[in-house]
Amino acid sequence: MSTADNVAYLTGYQSVMDGWHLPEPISAVFLPTSPELPMTLFLPEASLIGLVVAEREGQGVAFDRLRTFDLLNFCVTARSEDVHLELAADLQAELARLAKAVDGACAPNIVAAAADCLKHLGVTDETVLFDDMRMAQAAQQACGQRCSDGLDTMFAARAIKTDEEIALFRESGVKADRVMAFTVSQLGRGRSWADVEKAVAHFMIDEDIDPLPTSPMLFGGSYDAIFKPDLFRTRFDTPFSGGEIAILETQGRYRNFWIDINRTAHIGEATAAYREQHAIVQRCFEEVVSRLRPGANSAEICEPVRCGLARELDAPEKLLMIVHSIGRVPLESPVAFPSTGLHAATEGFEIEPNMVLSFDALYFGSRLGPSHMENVFVIGEDATESIYSYPLELIETD
């Protein structure tokens, strides 16, 4: 595995360079099915110190053996002699311990490091799963490695959360409720959407949340019957004057796990008709949630609502309802690649205990305007629990 999220998922290893979002991997892990073979972490040689830092911060990294490679000329520079450098004795001891876990010489690049490892372990004639088929192709060319696509396998594993992951999700739920409450406090006549976005982003950072790039609001913005200019970003710099609908989908990552909460606000008092519409969407939402349980199919549980209660809306087919798994990315459902295709919504997947699922009910009707809501749920053996507690009811500001 060589994508940053999968490396972090399997080992706990992360690098600040992951934030570069490079199209090529800068770390990898070989996870063998045989207990006789070592779990091997691949990282730039200059990043070995990062393992010491992670351990000192209580975020230990799992591995049996290490393989290193050069990253541009950073590692060459790090290896160069500095007669004035004096490392603390405890740091020298920790680096010496790590050095004993390193197999082979520092390779010129990550592909060479992987090929050396696979040849050394004698697995080139066995099928190895890769989550990046460019890495697979390169390994095949370098050492004749048999390979196959492992991304579906990874998502199937990531869909079932550990107790530790569920605990972090619950922490993120408390954070999300605080963000939503703050967002609502920023709304009102005379405020502009740009002001709200900036304030919310700052608040999220103070709460140790990494906001969604560009804006912490995915569907955020004010709408005048139709979306302008597009579905996911609405520039609305004119101060609110009253009567606008604001969709509040605040997104970001808290301790590597995605926050995905959505509520609807109306600037000023809403009409009775709009309140009724929002209430219908909320009833649709709650009806689907009542069916979120192990053994159910994520797509099938929406159909009775789509064919029943949703028909009370002005444009029933404009009600988008989808259940998806959420984790280190907002969409990591255990369905066949490409998991963003129509089949992920229409065929769905079987809900299992210890899944963490997001459910969206997004109404895009144009007569009265949109009504959106979304929560994230922990699926238990006997009960389904929302990690968000902020009310679903329509928010009406001053």
Residue 179 lies in a domain: yes
Beta bridge partner(s), residue 223: 245
Choose the final residue of a domain: 93, 121, 149.
149
Residues 32 and 38: beta-carbon distance below 8 Å = yes
pLDDT tens track for 372-388: 999 999 999 999 999 99
Helix/strand number for the chain, H first, E second: 12, 14
pLDDT of residue 249: 87
Residue 233 has pLDDT above 70, yes or no: no
Residue 223 has pLDDT above 60, yes or no: no
Residues 192 and 334 in one domain: yes
- How far is 52 from 221, CA to CA, in rounded Å? 44
* pLDDT band for position 111 (cuts 50, 70, 90): very high
Residue 211 has pLDDT above 50, yes or no: yes
Cβ of 81: how many Cβ atoms within 10 Å? Answer: 6
pLDDT of residue 216: 65
pLDDT of residue 315: 95
Residues 171 and 304 in one domain: yes
- How far is 358 from 249, CA to CA, in rounded Å? 13
Residues 278 and 324 in one domain: yes
Residues 175 and 310 in one domain: yes
pLDDT of residue 217: 66
Residue 190 lies in a domain: yes
pLDDT tens track for 269-310: 999 999 999 999 999 999 999 999 999 999 999 999 999 999
Higher pLDDT, 195 or 289: 289
Q: Which residues contact 14 (CB under 8 A, 6 or more apart)?
A: 4, 7, 8, 54, 256
Question: Mean per-residue pLDDT for 207-233?
Answer: 62
- How far is 131 from 134, CA to CA, in rounded Å? 9
Q: Which residues contact 139 (CB under 8 A, 6 or more apart)?
A: 111, 114, 115, 118, 128, 130, 145, 147
Residue 42 lies in a domain: yes
Where do the DSSP E strands lie in the chain?
28-30, 40-44, 65-69, 127-130, 146-149, 209-211, 221-223, 245-254, 257-266, 319-325, 356-363, 371-379, 384-386, 395-396
Domain count, the chain: 2
pLDDT of residue 232: 44
Question: Mean per-residue pLDDT for 190-211?
Answer: 90
Residue 154 lies in a domain: no
Residues 117 and 178 in one domain: no
Half-sphere exposure of 93 (CA within 13 A, CB side): 3
Residue 88 has pLDDT above 60, yes or no: yes
Helices (H), 227-370: 272-289, 303-307, 342-346
Choose the final residue of a domain: 104, 126, 149.
149
pLDDT of residue 162: 96
Residue 350 lies in a domain: yes
pLDDT of residue 229: 36
**What does the block give as tokens for 120?**
């050394």
The alpha carbon dihedral of 28, 329, 169, 354 has a sign of negative
305: nearest Cα among 293, 321, 292, 318: 321
Q: What element of type H or E holds 177? A: helix 163-185
Residues 226 and 318 in one domain: yes
Tell me the residue range of the domain where 232 lies: 159-396
Instruction: Please report, rounded to a whole number, the percentage of residues in the chain having pLDDT higher than 70.
Output: 94
Q: What is the CATH number of the domain that holds 233?
A: 3.90.230.10
110: nearest Cα among 4, 195, 244, 194: 4
Residues 137 and 261 in one domain: no
Residues 252 and 211: beta-carbon distance below 8 Å = yes
Helix (H, G, I), strand (E, B) or coil at 357: strand
pLDDT tens track for 344-366: 999 999 999 999 999 999 998 88
pLDDT of residue 147: 97
Estimate the crossing angle of helix 4-11 against helix 151-159, to 10 degrees: 50
Residues 46 and 184 in one domain: no
Choose the final residue of a domain: 149, 182, 198.
149
pLDDT of residue 290: 98
Estimate the crossing angle of helix 48-56 against helix 89-99, to 10 degrees: 120
Residues 99 and 203 in one domain: no
pLDDT of residue 228: 42
The alpha carbon dihedral of 116, 121, 124, 128 has a sign of negative
pLDDT of residue 221: 55
Residues 285 and 144 in one domain: no
Mean pLDDT (the chain) is 92
pLDDT tens track for 19-63: 888 999 999 999 999 999 999 999 999 999 999 999 998 888 999
**What does the block give as tokens for 168?**
């972090």
pLDDT of residue 220: 56
φ/ψ region of 159 (left if φ > 0, alpha if ψ in -120 to 50, else beta) reads alpha
Q: What is the pTM of this model?
A: 0.90
Tokens 């010491």 sit on residue: 52
Helix (H, G, I), strand (E, B) or coil at 121: helix
Residue 224 has pLDDT above 80, yes or no: no
Residues 118 and 210 in one domain: no
Residue 319 has pLDDT above 60, yes or no: yes
**What does the block give as tokens for 224?**
């005048």
**What does the block give as tokens for 159?**
């869909």
Residues 114 and 142 in one domain: yes
- Report DSSP state, residue 337: S
